[in-house]
Amino acid sequence: MDFSNLLSELLEKKNRLQQFSGVVLIKHGTDELFKAAYSDAHKSWEIKNQIDTRFRIASVSKLFTAVAILQLIDDQKINLGTRIIDCLGLEDTTIPSAVTIEHLLTMTAGIADWFDESGNSAEDWAALCHEYPIYQFRRNEDYLPLFAHKTPVTSVGQQHQYNNASYILLGLAIAKLSGLLYFDYVKTHIFVKLGMTNSDFVALDGIDKNVAEGYIPLTNTEEKIIGWRKNIYSATPEAAADGGAISTVEDLARFTHALRTGQLLSAEMTSAILSPKVLEDDEPYEGYFWKYGYGNQFLEDESGRIVRWGHTGEEEGVSCRLYHYPQKDIDIIILANQSECAGSLGWEIHDLIFEHIA
């Protein structure tokens, strides 16, 4: 059985078991190896997902923020060594004076995050929303009170620690340096530039065309899915610089191609964003090492060769993967409107690629 049939069989099974809802696109160069949509974009009205359905993409859109700040570096409005407190006038906060743009890009600033995901996420999220009503998170500035005066968690540059607040600060810097709202800058300099006509920043409580609703599975004691809940109280209502844009598989394929072919950045900054910078974890996983760069996650083999790059995206009711395999010239784009379903699928597709595609 060939790759496409094997993948179709896998996804049909996941669909039957309610383990995947969304769209998958796989390209080999300019050729499409696989493209299909599954389950519902709107369960109440039984409206099915389509290839052009728009999905919230969570942290996948950190790549947009990274590109935007590197464009401003190309324009000589800032540099990697610029201190963020100087750029934004944050001297009265607990953000260390040594934190630079590069520290924020690589998540090595050591600053506190606006939400710590390391504990009991459900209880911690409920406590956060009790103190700061979720409907108030509408702009990047709205997140500053959640972290700007907290004690840093590590020394600057000591280690990588996944940190959404770093990208909030980068979003604020983009707005300050460009004179545009963060969202307008990204739309003008990335979406419009590349013809990403189905990509945007919209609100969960807004009325927008062809956007999939996000769903959280409800399970019984045996972990069997017995129902669904919308994610409107479990995710921030608006996108921010740390994630939450909406897009389609086709638009994201266009973006990855433009990024690696130098259509968005200078040759120097293109090389920079496609190069790993820091180790995420000392321990290998499945024989691979995870590294982080400028809004870009890398998988390296034991010889140090980049196997894939891209980004993950996870929040309640959203599960996405955007991967490029440079040695095989393969793009994998998984956009789902169901919690925590893209990760395992991404690894299963990874294995199929190495088993069936030279």
Distance (Å, rounded) from C-alpha 166 to C-alpha 140?
11
The model's pTM is 0.97
pLDDT at 223 over 90: no
Model confidence at 121, in pLDDT bands (50, 70, 90)?
Answer: confident
What rounded mean pLDDT belongs to the chain? 95
Host domain of residue 249 = 3-356
In 3D, which of 139, 58, 127, 62 has the Cα closest to residue 293? Answer: 62
Mean pLDDT (whole number) for 152-170: 97
User: Percentage of residues in the chain with pLDDT exceeding 70?
Assistant: 99
Q: What is the pLDDT of residues 171-208, one digit of tens each?
A: 999 999 999 999 999 999 999 999 999 999 999 989 99
Q: Are 212 and 55 in contact (CB under 8 A)?
A: yes
> Residue 171: what pLDDT?
98
> Residue 119: what pLDDT?
67
Number of folded domains that form the chain: 1
pLDDT at 33 over 80: yes
Distance (Å, rounded) from C-alpha 106 to C-alpha 241?
15
Q: Are 22 and 342 in contact (CB under 8 A)?
A: yes
- The DSSP output letter for 89 is T
Model confidence at 135, in pLDDT bands (50, 70, 90)?
Answer: confident
Place of tokens 């060594």: 81
pLDDT at 120 over 80: no
Termini Cα distance of the chain: 15
Question: In sequence order, what are the residues at sequence separation of 6 or more whose Cβ sits closer than 8 angstroms to the Cβ of residue 327?
Answer: 305, 306, 307
pLDDT at 1 over 70: no
Mean pLDDT (whole number) for 87-91: 96
What is the CATH number for 138? 3.40.710.10
pLDDT at 358 over 90: no
Q: What is the pLDDT of residues 57-78, one digit of tens each?
A: 999 999 999 999 999 999 999 9
Q: What is the pLDDT of residues 266-291, one digit of tens each?
A: 999 999 999 999 999 888 888 899 99
Distance (Å, rounded) from C-alpha 343 to C-alpha 312?
8
